[in-house]
Amino acid sequence: MKKKVLLTGINGTVAQALKRQLSERYDITGISVARMDSVIDRIGTLPEPTWRAQLQAYGQQVMEQLTSALHGVDAVAHLGWNTRDEHCGAGLDPLNIFVVDCVYRAAIAEKIPRIYMASSVHAYDFPRFYQQDVEPVKPFPDVRQDPFGVPPTSLYGVSKRWMEIAGQYYANQLHDGQKILVVRLGAVNGNGLPYRPGSRLWNSHQDLGGLLTAFIECENAPRFWVSFGVSNNHGGAFTQPLFDPVNPYGFEPGGNAFEVDMPDRT
């Protein structure tokens, strides 16, 4: 019998790429996480029309939706994110963080064995090194060099960093057999191809699905891990990838943007 995998943000680019990659091996289901709009539309039915009451009503709705969708699932990949109001260029939507917390709590309560959370390379301030041929960045900052850690690129990166820290917190509440992987995803494009300006950030669809598969199937996975989800992109002036894909699941990315014919896009 196929293992069951739930993808949140099912209509997004990453979820659709994962669905195509994994559908033969796993029983894939998906949801679009409810939005606050649905609560605001029925504000007249709330006990009191305060922000706190709205947030509580929204949290209850999201938890009920997640709990129902997670029933009998072997793994969940949380990919849903309001990128209309929060993305690497601008904006901050605190409800993204709120939903992340709901996913952790619902998945732990339902004893889902594998909990995959989609962070971003923007959790790390990579642009300052982007044009340099440097040693690959490891997912764990060396606080001996900077006691405050490495800053993110944006408020979007701050939200993703919070996802990582929350994972460390919730790792102490996991049931036996439960594991958390937070993946700092690079650029996953709809057509699966890299674009020249973002070639060092590219994550192929095969590598995207490969890391999640390795995580699901690894029997001796640690309780918590952070990994970069980026392909093995190097070539030309860059003798090595920008990010170190080190992970405990035995997965090694095989894609390389510099070996693919890349369309130009600014």
The domains located in the chain, with CATH, are 4-259 (3.40.50.720)
Mean pLDDT of 243-261: 96
Give the pLDDT band (50/70/90) at residue 265: low
| pLDDT exceeds 60 at position 23 | yes
Mean pLDDT of 29-51: 81
Q: Alpha-carbon torsion 139, 168, 255, 214, what sign?
A: positive
Kindly report the pTM of this predicted structure: 0.95
Mean pLDDT of all residues belonging to the chain: 93
Give the pLDDT band (50/70/90) at residue 38: confident
How far apart CA 53 and CA 56 sit, in angstroms, is 5
Q: What is the pLDDT of residue 266?
A: 47
Q: What is the pLDDT of residue 43?
A: 64
How far apart CA 255 and CA 193 sit, in angstroms, is 10
- Contact, 251 vs 214, CB < 8 A? yes
- Give percent above pLDDT 70 in the chain: 96
- Contact, 156 vs 123, CB < 8 A? no
The tens digit of pLDDT for each residue in 148-190 reads 778 999 999 999 999 999 999 999 999 999 999 999 999 999 9
Mean pLDDT of 245-263: 93
Q: What is the pLDDT of residue 141?
A: 79
